[in-house]
Structure 1
Amino acid sequence: MVVTTDDELRAILGKETIAVVGCSSTPGKDAHEIPKYLQNQGYEVIPVNPNAEEVLGRPAHDSLSEVEEGIEIVDVFRPSGEVAGIVDEALARDDTPVIWLQLGIHDDEAVSRAEAAELRVVQDRCIKPEHRRLLASA
């Protein structure tokens, strides 16, 4: 289901383990600063970036399928054209209940497939301001 309410967002943000697909090792980029913010808020951030060895002090994985830890949220910082493959990888896992597509990232067909598999989907929202608005300010 596509998540639209603050209560649903709060429930998602209450999870602890976030795999960040496209997590950048370059300070200053949103794909680095937002996962860093999440890590500083106590989330376990699992970087997924085939072009990096390490991000935010953690080993970077080449793909979601290589992540051995359980994943509660897949946060996507990749172009919309890559969402379908990322959703396929998430669907192949048994432990990924939420797909979060950052601002400007859309793929309605992939979102429909995720919904059909009973995953919760947040589309075109940035996790950092949502966290600040719903949890950090509480």
Structure 2
Amino acid sequence: MEFSNPPDSEIRSILANPATVAVVGCSDNPARDSLRIAKLLKRRGFKVIPVNPQLGADALKGELGETCYPDLASIPEPVQMVDVFRRSEFVPEVAEQAIAKGAKILWCQLDVIHPAAARRAQEAGLTVVMDRCPAIEYARLF
């Protein structure tokens, strides 16, 4: 079965209803898309929790106001959306963590594509958006 993204109405609803989002692969480098998108989501009302095992807990406190965690399981609160800024080969692992965390949405950024992991997440009840960027979708849908 080929993967297809949810309809625009569902993507618009995701972006219009701020929730807690874990940004997996969030960088502390201001030039990186992951940090720019994390800041955009924060400006749009989302609570943004950075996830990056290479960074210390306080690495993004100044930028995002939240503790950085090494993985989804370490986050001590519920997460509604997982935004993935990792290479496609890491999506299955992130999808399994998102399922275990009880997330409702798995969002994979531009060029982050893994149909088998998407199917697994969908079978577990998650809405999956793949190969899309929230900034582009905001501009397109609002």
Q: Same fold (TM over 0.5)?
A: yes
Give the aligned CA root-mean-square deviation in angstroms.
1.4
Quote the sequence identity (%).
39
- 1:74 maps to what in 2? 82
Amino acid at match of 1:8: E
User: Does the 8 Å contact 2:18/2:47 carry over to 1?
Assistant: no
Answering whether residue 71 of structure 2 is matched by residue 63 of structure 1, we say yes
- Cα deviation, residue 3, structure 1: 3.5
Answering whether residue 115 of structure 2 is matched by residue 108 of structure 1, we say yes
Q: Where do residues 25-104 of structure 1 align in structure 2 (5 Å cutoff)?
A: 25-53=28-56, 54-55=59-60, 56=63, 57-94=65-102, 96-104=103-111
User: Which consecutive unaligned segments of at least 5 residues does structure 2 have?
Assistant: none
Q: Distance between the aligned counterparts of 2:104 and 2:79, measured in 1?
A: 8
Q: Distance between the aligned counterparts of 2:5 and 2:87, measured in 1?
A: 21
Q: Distance between the aligned counterparts of 2:132 and 2:86, measured in 1?
A: 13
Please identify runs of 4+ aligned residues in structure 1 that moved more than 6 A: none
* Bigger shift: residues 51-60 or 82-91: 51-60
- Cα deviation, residue 116, structure 1: 0.8
- Cα deviation, residue 2, structure 1: 5.0
User: Does the 8 Å contact 1:15/1:72 carry over to 2?
Assistant: no
Amino acid at match of 2:106: I
- Cα deviation, residue 21, structure 1: 0.2
Given the two structures, how large is their TM-score scaled by the length of structure 2? 0.88
User: Does the 8 Å contact 1:76/1:100 carry over to 2?
Assistant: yes
Selected match of 1:15 from 15, 18, 21: 18
Q: Distance between the aligned counterparts of 1:41 and 1:11, measured in 2?
A: 13
